[in-house]
Amino acid sequence: MKFLDQAKIYVRSGDGGDGVTAFRREKYIEFGGPDGGNGGRGGDIIFEAVPNLNTLIDFRYTQHFRARKGGNGAGSDRTGAAASPVIIKVPIGTQIMDDDRVTLLADLNEAGKRITLCRGGDGGYGNAHFKSSTNRAPRRSDKGWPGEERWVWLRLKLIADVGLVGLPNAGKSTFLSVVSAAKPKIADYPFTTLHPQLGVVRLSMTEEFVVADIPGLIEGAHEGTGLGDRFLGHVERCAVLLHLIDGAAGNVVDAWRTIRHELAAYDGGLAEKPEIIALNKMDAMTPREASSRRAALEKASGAPVVLISAATHQGVPELLRMLQNKVTETRKNADENRA
């Protein structure tokens, strides 16, 4: 299935049904009076987050959603039927943005979360509603109120605990394939990963976390160079960033600074997120090269650096334990803040 994380759609709720003008006409009732019923309510447009979706590809082929009009009133004081709502199911983590792509209307970040985006129009009153002691035979009835309509943007931000960032060919896809059951494309050329990938890492029966691998960043990504930085939205919700650096490339400090600059240029708070730095491909370095490059990177970043080899699994278990501890700590703090 093709991955799609943005879509523009048109939604319109239903108009309310019309009220009617009617009078009782029964054989033995001389002055029956008004008995026109009210119109029914138009259908709402409701968005719901469901767990069995992970892409917005359905909205490439269906872009217009309209709810039905409410039923018209009828004689004998009968109210028109209310129209059924249109429920639009979206993946967990979907944000609904206004047409300006800036104003956030809703964030469906939990399974089962719902939002009524467009409310159906109310039904119009029938002439029975206007009956009074001074107006015994009103002939007024109202039209139903119109529904609401708008164009909105849907933007999917994957729900993950750990976000993988790094330059192309840093070994992110290999790492994801080693630690989870995900099967991303792996090749020896840049930009092998064209769409975000998710993988679940299970350390024990009770410990697991989700890793999101996004396409590699290059210098100038925030200006649209390469694949740009649009996919960084998928790691905005992560508890920790795992910054993978290709140790065999040699210029490890420049690689780290390039990614940090792109994270800072992206407006999403990514530069402030906790970061774990891993120097990958230690199997392609001599012990002396690994030690010197690790020391240079620690000096530049001011943080400890983990040496790993995703291909041979060296250092990977220790790195996964560090990530799990950080994710557990973040989840605990989030629960305390909600309480």
> Is position 195 annotated in a ligand binding site?
yes
Q: Assess whether 315 and 178 both reside in one domain.
A: yes
More confident residue, 201 or 228: 201
pLDDT at 185 over 60: no
> Is position 32 annotated in a ligand binding site?
no
Per-residue HEC secondary structure of 76-116 comes to: CCECCCCCCCEEEEEECCEEEEECCCCCEEEEECCCCCEEE
Q: Assess whether 181 and 327 both reside in one domain.
A: yes
> Is position 44 annotated in a ligand binding site?
no
More confident residue, 41 or 269: 41
Q: Assess whether 16 and 125 both reside in one domain.
A: yes
What does the pLDDT average to over 280-301?
Answer: 87
pLDDT band at 194 (very low <50, low <70, confident <90, very high): low
Q: Assess whether 204 and 230 both reside in one domain.
A: yes
What does the pLDDT average to over 245-264?
Answer: 84
Residue with the two structure tokens 């040496």: 307
> Quick check: is 236 in a domain?
yes
* Domain limit, last residue, from 114, 134, 156: 156
How many domains would you assign to the chain?
2
What does the pLDDT average to over 164-176?
Answer: 82
Q: Assess whether 118 and 176 both reside in one domain.
A: no
What is the C-alpha separation between 299 and 252, in angstroms, rounded? 12
Q: Assess whether 114 and 182 both reside in one domain.
A: no
> Is position 171 annotated in a ligand binding site?
yes
Q: Assess whether 175 and 212 both reside in one domain.
A: yes
> Is position 244 annotated in a ligand binding site?
no
> Is position 281 annotated in a ligand binding site?
yes
> Is position 191 annotated in a ligand binding site?
yes
> Is position 205 annotated in a ligand binding site?
no
> Is position 215 annotated in a ligand binding site?
yes
Buried b (16+ CB within 10 A) or exposed e, 284-304: ebeeeebeebbeebeebbeee
pLDDT tens for each residue of 112-136:
999 999 999 999 999 999 998 888 8
> Quick check: is 272 in a domain?
yes
Q: Assess whether 87 and 200 both reside in one domain.
A: no
What is the C-alpha separation between 180 and 146, in angstroms, rounded? 51
Question: In this predicted structure, what is the pLDDT of residue 123?
Answer: 94
CATH of the domain at 206: 3.40.50.300
> Is position 169 annotated in a ligand binding site?
yes
Q: Which of 181, 221, 225 is nearest to 199 (CA)?
A: 181
pLDDT band at 227 (very low <50, low <70, confident <90, very high): very low
Question: What is the pTM assigned to this prediction?
Answer: 0.73
Q: Assess whether 125 and 185 both reside in one domain.
A: no
- The neighbour count for residue 71, using CB atoms within 10 Å, is 22
> Is position 172 annotated in a ligand binding site?
yes
> Is position 285 annotated in a ligand binding site?
no
> Is position 311 annotated in a ligand binding site?
yes
> Quick check: is 170 in a domain?
yes
pLDDT band at 3 (very low <50, low <70, confident <90, very high): low
pLDDT tens for each residue of 255-282:
888 888 878 887 667 778 888 888 888 8
> Is position 21 annotated in a ligand binding site?
no
Q: Assess whether 17 and 139 both reside in one domain.
A: yes
> Quick check: is 1 in a domain?
no
Per-residue HEC secondary structure of the chain comes to: CCCCCEEEEEEECCCCCCCCCCECCECCECCCCECCCCCCCCCCEEEEEECCCCCCCHHHHCCEEECCCCCCCECCCECCCCCCCEEEEEECCEEEEECCCCCEEEEECCCCCEEEEECCCCCCCCHHHHCCCCCCCCCCCCCCCCCCEEEEEEEECCCCCEEEECCCCCCHHHHHHHHCCCCCCCCCCCCCCCCCEEEEEECCCCCEEEEEECCCCCCCHHHCCCCCCHHHHHHCCCCEEEEEEEHHHCCHHHHHHHHHHHHHHCCCCHHHCCEEEEEECHHHCCHHHHHHHHHHHHHHHCCCEEECECCCCECHHHHHHHHHHHHHHHHHHHHHHHC
The whole domain housing 253 covers 162-338
> Is position 213 annotated in a ligand binding site?
yes
> Is position 70 annotated in a ligand binding site?
no
Question: In this predicted structure, what is the pLDDT of residue 182?
Answer: 60
Residue with the two structure tokens 């960033």: 241
- Per-chain mean pLDDT for the chain: 83
Q: Assess whether 129 and 246 both reside in one domain.
A: no
CATH of the domain at 106: 2.70.210.12
> Is position 100 annotated in a ligand binding site?
no
pLDDT tens for each residue of 86-116:
999 998 889 999 999 889 999 898 889 999 9
Q: Assess whether 182 and 258 both reside in one domain.
A: yes
> Is position 85 annotated in a ligand binding site?
no
For residues 185 and 217, the answer to whether their CB atoms sit within 8 Å is no
> Quick check: is 86 in a domain?
yes
